[in-house]
Amino acid sequence: MSRKLLLTHDNVPNLHTIDVYRSKGGYASVEKALKKMTPEEIVEEVKKSGLRGRGGAGFPTGMKWSFLAKPEGVPRYLVCNADESEPGTFKDRYLMERNPHLLIEGMITSSFALGANTSYIYIRGEYFYVSRILETAIAEAYAKGWLGKNILGTGYNLDLYVQVGAGAYICGEETALLESLEGKRGNPRIKPPFPAIAGLYGCPTVVNNVETIAAVVPIVNDGGDEYAKIGIGRSTGTKLISASGNINKPGVYEIEMGVPVEEFIFSDQYCGGIANGKRMKACVPGGSSVPILPDYLVCKTATGEDRLMTYESLSDGGFATGSMLGSGGFIVYDEHQCVVRNTWNFSRFYHHESCGQCSPCREGTGWMERVLHRLEKGMGNMNDIDLLVELAKKIEGNTICPLGDAAAWPVAAAIKHFRHEFEYHVLYPEKVKDSKHGHKEPIMPVKPAPVMA
Ligand SMILES: Cc1cc2nc3c(=O)[nH]c(=O)nc-3n(C[C@H](O)[C@H](O)[C@H](O)COP(=O)(O)O)c2cc1C
């Protein structure tokens, strides 16, 4: 059985209440941190753990924390990114709904480590009901003395607020989030300066994902070394994966880093295989913005190694033959799903969510969406396929924030691995009129022939 650190007590009734949470050992990390450790020691444990940001980029958390500027007399902030708007990703919601106190505990311990006395949880507008769950839990924590003034008599003060966003994906980008938190339109800022130097209200700020902050609890309780024993190489600890698509058991799973992708998809412990006895066609392993993998690259890398659920293995081969772990939004497609329609669907999302500051993203995402739409409807031509490749190239790397990349990569990867399916849409328009329900006949990836020496 895979070890669990975040979903340990997942099935305990009323875990969302402070009494039940406490009865399972909850808030122990706060006692340990505030009474027995210095902030520097906590940062050191987080560094030792090898924890990497669970919001998508995988940046080492301890290193990020150590970048935080500490000018005299200037407040510091910890902001939890609960915007979770990446299509295919729903792990943070699951955690917050079921175990809000784990996040609150992580916020207190992490805020203490960073020297923050005011912290925020910024949650997407669509999760309004989850914000209510968090607010109730925060009120309980204040009432029991885990938040507020002089926590546990240690002299440490912390106020924790929940801020609900207004339903914009771009507000998950950390600097857009900070703009929104300040009450402005959520446009990403030009970096540098990074939030660690000039973040919320121009003050030093750390922005971390929900799961990252929750992982600080077991790291402080058991020590960074124990955490680092789980996983493989630079992918340590456990990871929440939200699995969806044509699988028998969609849901949120906590895996130990390093589980083979094949085991994750096909074993009954996790996804339970492809639904309705069909074949797997493709997989998007890390949320809508990461490159799609054709069936023959999902469980094996291009060099024939087992593909593992780690940052390194999922990106093995770069974007030519790999993808990314990203935010852990794992979407599996069966043989009848239409890659062209799926790519159009993602593209429509990025066009809608582009903040419009940078022309390549504002104009390019809309252009890609329109071209994909006509291809999907069987009204495109062969030149459209190369036009999409060109558009993706023009957007990638040419925007203030990575939303442009997020819009370009899925299109580029889909054409790279499924060009024949785009061509099918041009050649057989009468067959693709309603690809919404998938293709009538399966269209599987075509594995390129090996290059002879
Ligand atoms: C367009 C866009 C949307 C993002 N959405 C989220 C999000 O919903 N949640 C999240 O944690 N990070 C999101 N990120 C990444 C954040 O900018 C940031 O890297 C992350 O919150 C840092 O936390 P971590 O180090 O704990 O991963 C997004 C980035 C971009 C470019």
The H or E element containing residue 18 is: helix 18-23
The stretch 381-387 carries a mean pLDDT of 97
229 falls in which pLDDT band (50, 70, 90)? very high
Atom of ligand 1 nearest to the CA of 124: 8
State whether the beta carbon of 208 lies less than 6 angstroms from ligand 1.
yes
Substitution candidate for ligand 1 out of 119, 121, 174 with most atoms within 8 A of CB: 174
Query: Which atom of ligand 1 has the smallest separation from the CA of 175?
Result: 17
- The alpha carbon of 81 and the centre of ligand 1 are apart by a number of angstroms equal to 7
Inform me whether the pLDDT recorded for 86 exceeds 80: yes
Q: Which of 209, 355, 361, 395 should be mutated for ligand 1, with most atoms under 8 A from CB?
A: 209
Q: Which stretches of 70-146 are DSSP H helices?
A: 91-98, 100-114, 128-143
pLDDT at 1: 64
**Which of 334, 356, 385 is the C-terminal boundary of a domain?**
334
Are 127 and 37 in the same domain?
A: yes
Ligand 1 within 6 A of 403 CB? yes
Average pLDDT of the residues of the chain = 96
Mutual angle of helices 359-376 and 339-353, in 10-degree steps: 150
Choosing from 164, 173, 180 the residue with most ligand 1 atoms within 8 A of its CB, the one to mutate for a pocket test is: 173
**From ligand 1's centre to the CA of 60, what distance in Å?**
14
Closest CA to 45 of 62, 32, 28: 62
Ligand 1 center to 451 CA (angstroms): 39
Q: Are residues 249 and 221 part of one domain?
A: no
Q: In the prediction, which pLDDT does 440 show?
A: 84
- Strands 293-294, 280-284: pairing is antiparallel
Q: Tell me whether residue 11 is in a domain.
A: no
Residues 220 and 247 in one domain: no
431 lies in some domain: yes
pTM: 0.96
With a 6 A CB cut-off, is 170 part of the ligand 1 pocket? yes
* Gap from CA of 378 to ligand 1 centroid (Å): 36
| Alpha carbon of 341 to ligand 1 centroid (Å) | 26
Mean pLDDT across 159-180:
97
pLDDT of residue 58: 96
Please tell me what DSSP assigns to residue 7: S
217 lines ligand 1 (CB under 6 A): no
Q: Is residue 169 part of a domain?
A: yes
Q: Helix, strand, coil proportions of the chain in percent (round to 5)?
A: 45, 15, 40
Residue 453's pLDDT is 66
Q: Which of 202, 230, 258 is the last residue of a domain?
A: 230
**Residue 314: inside a domain, yes or no?**
yes
Could you identify the atom of ligand 1 that is nearest to the CA of residue 89? 8
Residues 329, 403 within the same domain:
no
Is residue 246 domain-shared with residue 368, that is, in the same domain?
A: no
Confidence of residue 2 (pLDDT cuts 50, 70, 90): confident
In a domain, 12, yes or no: no
What's the CATH code of the domain at 132? 3.40.50.11540
In CATH, what number is assigned to the domain containing residue 385? 1.20.1440.230
Q: What is the average pLDDT across 248-265?
A: 98
pLDDT reported for residue 433 = 79
235 lines ligand 1 (CB under 6 A): no
Task: Tell whether 77 and 170 lie within a shared domain.
Answer: yes
Across 156-237, where does the E strand assignment appear? 156-164, 205-209, 231-232, 235-236
Q: Is the pLDDT reported for residue 437 higher than 80?
A: no
Residue 81 is assigned to a structural domain of this protein? yes
- Residue 315's domain spans which residues? 238-334
Q: Does the beta carbon of 405 lie inside 6 Å of ligand 1?
A: no
- The DSSP secondary-structure symbol of 146 reads S
- The count of other CB atoms within 10 Å of the CB of residue 71 is 10
How many structural domains comprise the chain?
A: 3
Residues 226 and 88 in one domain: yes
What does the pLDDT look like over 400-436, one tens digit per residue?
999 999 999 999 999 999 999 999 999 999 998 777 7
In the chain, % of residues over pLDDT 90: 94
Residue finishing a domain among 230, 256, 277 = 230
**CB of 225 closer than 8 Å to CB of 216:** no
Asked if residue 54 lies in contact with residue 239, where contact means CB atoms within 8 angstroms, the answer is: yes
Tell me the per-residue pLDDT of 91-101, one tens digit each, with 9 for 90 and over. Answer: 999 999 999 99
Query: How confident is residue 439, by pLDDT bands cut at 50, 70 and 90?
Result: confident
Tell me, rounded to whole angstroms, the distance of Cα 187 from its chain centroid: 20
> Within a domain: residue 453?
no
pLDDT higher for 268 or 453? 268
Regarding whether 354 and 293 lie in a shared domain, the answer is: no
Q: Which amino acid is at 59?
A: F
The Cα–Cα gap between 403 and 351 comes to: 10
Distance 212 CA to ligand 1 centre (A): 11
56 alpha carbon – ligand 1 mean position (Å) = 6
Q: Is the CB of 57 under 6 A from ligand 1?
A: yes
Q: Are residues 22 and 66 in the same domain?
A: yes
Answer whether residue 450 is part of any domain.
Answer: no
Q: Do residue 89 and residue 183 come from a single domain? A: yes
Share of the chain above pLDDT 70, in %: 100
- Find out whether 87 and 349 touch, Cβ atoms under 8 Å: yes
Closest Cα to residue 215, out of 68, 328, 86?
328
- CA 323 to CA 293: how far, in whole Å? 7
* Cα–Cα distance for residue pair 161/232, rounded to 1 Å: 36
**Same domain? 185 vs 159:** yes
